[in-house]
Chain A
């Protein structure tokens, strides 16, 4: 099976730019107005996840919470068929925690608990480190790409990378999905995957550039389109395998990595999309400026 991937990707990128800009604006609006739905990892408090053998209702849990001396308004209960989540906005102390478990065990004797507690200072630190991690990783990648390729590739790759990270964060903000520590890991992995994809395409552009006619912008555009067509099967196949792995984790994997898997599912798709429709056309836009310079100057630099 072989498809003909010849297509004017650069032309298609106009629509992609518009789509990405709209998505980015929506993301900014959503993050500024709604913020992110932080899990306990980033927002101090205690999070209790309980695996239950029978359905337990919110009404059954509320009295237990009140008994601990905590206002039920400060507690968010999400009941489920086999899993109940109770999130306290303040930190449970040891006695409260063991009392809660004791009382809950009366409702379901086989309940199994996972309790996470984070102190406010710690939460802020985690968030700060996450932002540093993305920035440092980006700088590192940009330097590596600039050395191995040229700065235009590095810049285009990093813009595409920020785009992917931001899109995933935006989607999580818009749909009020929970942002926890594993989410940060997912964003960083998406960064890694997306850049991987971009590099393969850039590598092919670089290779084709060696023999290509590159006097006009149209020539360059032809190189980009040809390179994308040549790497398309590989891009789709790789995206498919990573997508399948993430989707399986999302559907069948454990509860605590669900948000991680979801972020990966979204990020994989956007990673492939941005490598093709954002990174490569951006490089063309940057490189195109160079060819438009007077011919004499180009010759002199050769």
Chain B
């Protein structure tokens, strides 16, 4: 009696948790571009001038800069990642003006020193005095004044030229721009002949570090070439999502009906374990903030097909033990024990294949492999341990008394 109560309790609680959290999970899982529409570009970065090298730091800087640009363009959740030694992958969802985004992304961040031209309005400076390539590469650093306020120190390549400019502009502002954004416009107090200039402003230490990084990037702009691009219309993405989910539901229903038809009550337990498995994978995606892509969903659906394997192996084994004349409880025990090693061995080999895909693959392949790995690991938890736990509870509660509940006919059982 106690066991049947705990069985019902476990099932009800699990079902309750799944029902309660599923709507939130489904709504909040991050979908890939192929499912919600958007734009993906893979850039290869090259140094702008010959003889230079693309360093890891410059690549990360370029990626950061791309991300802030994408943010500035108002795209939601841009995803920028570096790949290998010289690649940057950019994913933008819901972009309306692709051409504008593409153009904006490729402009290198250029720092300029500007002075006021004749027709400039107040606070506007258009006469360019110095350009990005006239600053010392990676020469910007954060320094602190007497008040311990951070400022950014920049080095100019041509000291004489800078001296000339500062001499000419004494008493006037010399504005420092990053692309078209005014950083600061200090007034020149005296002629600067040592080739260094400071950007002051009300910066926090963090902001000052960021600005230094951006300026260094401007001084070492990487040239970006598009190597691969994919754009998916929002309607098309939605269509793919709907179709694939529909395919998944149909496939799952057939599999569940098949399992119940073949293994009766254990089949129902297996079906419940499968649903728990699906929920668990979704929960992992939600918590890990992984992005679900179309190949990911495909892996997911295939995973259901493969996850039942653990149950099939176990149940076949239990049926065999029963036919050989063992009692139901010892059949369940022996079946579970004997099938365990087989299931682990066969799953590990599949994990090896998936792990290789994950490490060698890019983009969609990586996503697929990741889902497959999660699928296998959670399947071991739900379709071996959880479903066996439920089955043992029922058997010990003496609910499953007859072999026919397992799909075994009395006539098949060999007399001892």
| Chain A interfacial positions (CB closer than 8 Å to B) | 2, 49, 51, 94-95, 97-98, 110-119, 121-122, 126, 129, 132-133, 136-137, 140-141, 144-145, 148, 181-182, 184-185, 188-189, 191-193, 195-197, 199-200, 203-204, 207, 230-231, 233-234, 237-238, 240-249, 251-257, 260-261, 264
Instruction: Assess A122 versus B227: contact at CB under 8 Å? Given A195-B353, A261-B298.
Output: yes
Determine if B163 is an interface residue (Cβ-Cβ < 8 Å). Answer: no
CB contacts under 8 Å to A, within B83-104, are 98-99, 102-103
Give CA–CA (A189, B376) in the complex, Å.
12
Determine if B243 is an interface residue (Cβ-Cβ < 8 Å). Answer: yes
Contacts of A203 in B (CB 8 A): 341-342, 345-346
Main secondary structure of the interface of B (DSSP, over half): helix
| Chain B interfacial positions (CB closer than 8 Å to A) | 34, 42, 98-99, 102-103, 225-236, 239-241, 243-244, 246-248, 250-252, 254-255, 258-259, 262, 294-295, 298-299, 301-302, 304-306, 308-309, 312-313, 316, 320, 338, 341-342, 345-350, 352-357, 360-362, 364-365, 368-369, 372, 409, 412
Q: How far is the CB of A58 from chain B (nearest CB, A)?
A: 21
Give CA–CA (A192, B232) in the complex, Å.
30
Give CA–CA (A298, B369) in the complex, Å.
44
Q: Is the CB–CB distance between B258 and A240 below 8 Å? A: yes
Contacts of A112 in B (CB 8 A): 233-236, 239
* Contact among B247, B295, B360 for A252, CB-based, below 8 A: B247
Q: How far is the CB of B2 from chain A (nearest CB, A)?
A: 34
Q: How far is the CB of B267 from chain A (nearest CB, A)?
A: 11
Q: Is the CB–CB distance between A257 and B294 below 8 Å? A: yes
Q: How far is the CB of B276 from chain A (nearest CB, A)?
A: 17
- Nearest to A202 among chain B residues (CB) is B345
Contacts of B252 in A (CB 8 A): 245
Give CA–CA (A41, B352) in the complex, Å.
25
Contacts of B305 in A (CB 8 A): 241-246
* Chain A to chain B: the 7 pairs with minimum beta-carbon distance, closest first: A112-B233, A254-B240, A248-B251, A245-B305, A252-B247, A192-B353, A242-B305
A sample of 13 more A-B contacts (CB under 8 A), given A113-B231, A195-B353, is A51-B239, A117-B229, A136-B360, A140-B355, A182-B295, A182-B364, A184-B365, A240-B258, A245-B305, A248-B254, A251-B247, A252-B247, A256-B240
Contacts of B364 in A (CB 8 A): 181-182, 185
* Contact among A114, A122, A200, A248 for B248, CB-based, below 8 A: A248
Contacts of B362 in A (CB 8 A): 126, 129
Q: Is the CB–CB distance between A256 and B247 below 8 Å? A: no
Q: Is the CB–CB distance between B258 and A241 below 8 Å? A: yes
Q: How far is the CB of A174 from chain B (nearest CB, A)?
A: 24
Central interface residue in B102, B228, B255, by most chain A CB within 10 Å: B228
Q: Is the CB–CB distance between B349 and A241 below 8 Å? A: no
Main secondary structure of the interface of A (DSSP, over half): helix
Central interface residue in A111, A148, A196, A233, by most chain B CB within 10 Å: A196
Contacts of A248 in B (CB 8 A): 247-248, 250-251, 254, 301
Give CA–CA (A119, B227) in the complex, Å.
5
Please, could you name 30 A-B residue pairs with CB atoms under 8 Å apart, sorted by A? A51-B233, A51-B236, A110-B235, A112-B239, A114-B230, A116-B228, A116-B230, A141-B353, A184-B365, A192-B353, A193-B306, A196-B346, A207-B338, A231-B316, A234-B312, A234-B316, A237-B262, A238-B313, A241-B255, A244-B251, A244-B255, A244-B305, A245-B251, A245-B255, A245-B302, A248-B254, A251-B247, A256-B34, A257-B294, A260-B295
Give CA–CA (A184, B363) in the complex, Å.
13
Give CA–CA (A197, B342) in the complex, Å.
10
Q: Is the CB–CB distance between B357 and A115 below 8 Å? A: no
Give CA–CA (A257, B309) in the complex, Å.
24
Instruction: Assess A98 versus B99: contact at CB under 8 Å? Given A137-B353, A248-B248, A249-B298.
Output: yes
Q: Is the CB–CB distance between B372 and A192 below 8 Å? A: yes
Contacts of B262 in A (CB 8 A): 237
* Contact among A111, A204, A238, A249 for B308, CB-based, below 8 A: A238
Q: Is the CB–CB distance between A191 and B298 below 8 Å? A: no
Give CA–CA (A238, B356) in the complex, Å.
24
Contacts of B234 in A (CB 8 A): 112
Give CA–CA (A231, B320) in the complex, Å.
10
Q: Is the CB–CB distance between A253 and B258 below 8 Å? A: no
Q: Is the CB–CB distance between A252 and B243 below 8 Å? A: yes
Q: How far is the CB of B376 from chain A (nearest CB, A)?
A: 9
Contacts of B304 in A (CB 8 A): 241, 245
Contacts of A116 in B (CB 8 A): 228-230
Contacts of A260 in B (CB 8 A): 295, 298
Give CA–CA (A213, B233) in the complex, Å.
65
Q: How far is the CB of A191 from chain B (nearest CB, A)?
A: 5
Q: Is the CB–CB distance between B243 and A253 below 8 Å? A: yes
* Contact among B301, B316, B349, B357 for A245, CB-based, below 8 A: B301
Q: How far is the CB of B174 from chain A (nearest CB, A)?
A: 37
- Nearest to A115 among chain B residues (CB) is B231
Q: Is the CB–CB distance between A199 and B346 below 8 Å? A: yes
Instruction: Assess A195 versus B350: contact at CB under 8 Å? Given A133-B357, A241-B255.
Output: yes
Contacts of A233 in B (CB 8 A): 316
* Contact among A113, A199, A252 for B342, CB-based, below 8 A: A199
- Nearest to B360 among chain A residues (CB) is A133
- Nearest to A48 among chain B residues (CB) is B231
Contacts of B246 in A (CB 8 A): 252
* Contact among A189, A191, A238 for B309, CB-based, below 8 A: A238
* Contact among B298, B320, B360 for A253, CB-based, below 8 A: B298
- Nearest to B352 among chain A residues (CB) is A140
Give CA–CA (A252, B280) in the complex, Å.
25
Contacts of B259 in A (CB 8 A): 241
Instruction: Assess A242 versus B302: contact at CB under 8 Å? Given A129-B360, A234-B312.
Output: yes
Q: Is the CB–CB distance between B295 and A51 below 8 Å? A: no
Central interface residue in B102, B230, B246, B347, by most chain A CB within 10 Å: B230
Q: How far is the CB of A234 from chain B (nearest CB, A)?
A: 4
Give CA–CA (A140, B350) in the complex, Å.
10
